[in-house]
Amino acid sequence: MNTAHAGDTTEDLEARWRTDVLDAHPDVVSVLVGVNDNGRHTFDPAAREISAAEFTANYHRLLAPLAEAGTELILIEPFLVPVRGDITAGIHRDGEAADVIIGEDTRRAWRTGLDPKIRAVRDLAAEYHAELLAADTLFAGLSTSDRPERWSEDGVHPTPAGHRALAEAWLDLVT
């Protein structure tokens, strides 16, 4: 069962966690969240960046009831593929489509905000005895042997090859 919603933050997950996840009484839960806690404000002036401390507290509230129920946890660290140059990202806001240019400076700021959240996911995986899929590490390594744009055109959303790499890494982790 996939209950993911594109663009979600930890706060968004928390708002629907009971009905979308806990009420299903899952045996295994994989969680990939974090990049939107970090960069949504780039596209939405009303959004704010979630601090690493808030991110960690939100994530704890997601994981605690699952751990208490004995659910197997797989945490996927958020990632930022090191693409280069200016990227045009299409966004939808208030029913309107718009393009936003994301440059190197913006991605450097994203990286600065994302690194503490990646460390938080690693720490949470250890604390909750969860499996950790080190997706940021995975994509950094893949990007040294091939163009980063093969894995993600904008650094955030995987291409089909990026999705395949994540799926293979997930399967390797759990089998």
State what percent of residues in the chain have pLDDT above 90. 68
Task: Tell me what pLDDT residue 62 has.
Answer: 97
State what percent of residues in the chain have pLDDT above 70. 94
| Tokens (6 digits) for 143 | 């990007």
Average pLDDT of the chain, as a whole number: 91
Q: What is the pTM of this model?
A: 0.90
Burial class from Cβ neighbours inside 10 Å (0-12, 13-18, 19+) for residue 53 reads exposed
Low-confidence residues of the chain: pLDDT under 70: 90-98
DSSP one-letter code for 24: G
CA 110, CA 128: separation in Å to the nearest integer?
A: 27
